[in-house]
Amino acid sequence: MPMPPMVLSTGEPAGIGPDLALMLAQSDKQWPVVVLADRAMMAQRAAQLGLSVRFQDPQTAPPQLGQGEMALHHVPLTAPCVAGTLDTDNARYVLSLLETAVAGCESGLYSAMVTGPVHKGVINDAGIPFSGHTEWLADRTHTPRVVMMLAGEAMRVALATTHLPLKDVAQAITPASLTETLTILHHDLQVKFGLPSPRILVAGLNPHAGEGGHMGREELEVIIPVLQALREQGMQLIGPLPADTLFNRPVLAQGDAVLAMYHDQGLPVLKYATFGEGINITLGLPIIRTSVDHGTALDLAGTGRADAGSLKAAITWAWTLAKQHRQASTSPQ
């Protein structure tokens, strides 16, 4: 039985999400993906970009679309949209794209979801608390804990904490939270990435991984005991390692993924190495979700200067992960 298509939420309509979807529709080799967006807005943006795109009804579209074709599921805008100009009235539209995508994945209509960039500020300015896709998806799917991972050809970096002020990070890293994070990371590396015995490099929190307690005690009191306990359960965990030397190639070669303790410990390195082709993956969800690793780039919207490399990578990864997850779930135990 063929796999269902993926679904693409185009994100903030004033940003480059719609542009990227339209640009990918120009490819002569397309993926099985349904795009969620307002049809009139997409037609206007295509004209602004000078692109010819034929919109197909997802229910009647052929399995393989041709160059310049897009399977489009119409989700109406709340207010008219101008490329590059945010409007709080469209915050509900952005969330309705996500809701439609998640519901489709949960029902089996879609095999995975890919998300375009959203603008957290405009959603919050509309009076809707929103700290990011990762947290919203966890709440929507009633998932107690999820793990953010960014990935590229060069490396995979997961996070023990996500969008927190730096002053709150140490308090958020508890034995329970770190154990949950590593358990999710280990499980999804096995099931979604097809790694039977994944090796995880774990960064320390403090400079020099605490240097024996002289630069902080979180390694001694939290990280090391958790790693030891999980090693006894069979996990291959290396660390805690000083973050300033962890990202050297010889060290990275010893692992399949890195667990960084906070957002800006691991992601600047990964984005430097993979920007333009890196992606975001939410681990621990009951569905497959990938995303671009960049923002809405309002100044580029409607100009034709946006780079679709990260979206292309996110779609490719989503399809690969969905196929691997399907294989793992149907294989005899």
Q: pLDDT at position 22, please? A: 97
Report whether pLDDT(1) > 90: no
Question: What's the start-to-end Cα distance of the chain, in Å?
Answer: 21
Token pair listed for 152:
């590229």
Could you list the residues known to form a binding site, using ranges.
133-134, 163, 208, 263, 271, 280, 289
Tell me how far apart the alpha carbons of residues 144 and 137 are, in angstroms, rounded to a whole number: 11
Q: Rounded mean pLDDT of 142-157? A: 90
4-18, 83-97, 240-254, 318-332: least confidently modelled range? 318-332
Set out the domains of the chain in order of their start, with CATH numbers: 1-143+287-332 (3.40.718.10), 145-284 (3.40.718.10)
More confidently predicted of 303 and 132: 303
Tell me how far apart the alpha carbons of residues 203 and 176 are, in angstroms, rounded to a whole number: 17
Percentage above 90 pLDDT, the chain: 81
Tell me how far apart the alpha carbons of residues 266 and 152 are, in angstroms, rounded to a whole number: 13
Report CA 200 to chain centroid distance, whole Å: 19
pLDDT in tens, 151-190: 987 789 999 998 889 999 999 999 999 999 999 999 999 9
Token pair listed for 260:
């960084």
Q: Which DSSP letter does residue 153 get? A: S
Could you list the residues known to form a binding site for substrate, using ranges.
133-134, 271, 280, 289
CA nearest to 201, candidates 173, 242, 166: 242
Confidence label for 272 from pLDDT (cuts 50, 70 and 90): confident
CA nearest to 176, candidates 160, 156, 154: 160
Q: Is residue 244 within a helix (H) or strand (E), and if so which, with residue range?
A: helix 243-246
Mean pLDDT over the full length of the chain: 93
Report whether pLDDT(207) > 60: yes
Q: pLDDT at position 27, please? A: 86
Q: pLDDT at position 163, please? A: 83
- Residue 9, class by beta-carbon neighbours within 10 Å (0-12 exposed, 13-18 middle, 19+ buried)? buried
Q: pLDDT at position 173, please? A: 97
Tell me how far apart the alpha carbons of residues 190 and 331 are, in angstroms, rounded to a whole number: 13
Confidence label for 332 from pLDDT (cuts 50, 70 and 90): low
Report whether pLDDT(214) > 70: yes
Q: pLDDT at position 330, please? A: 66
Could you list the residues known to form a binding site for a divalent metal cation, using ranges.
163, 208, 263
Q: pLDDT at position 329, please? A: 67
* Cβ count near 257 (within 10 Å): 23
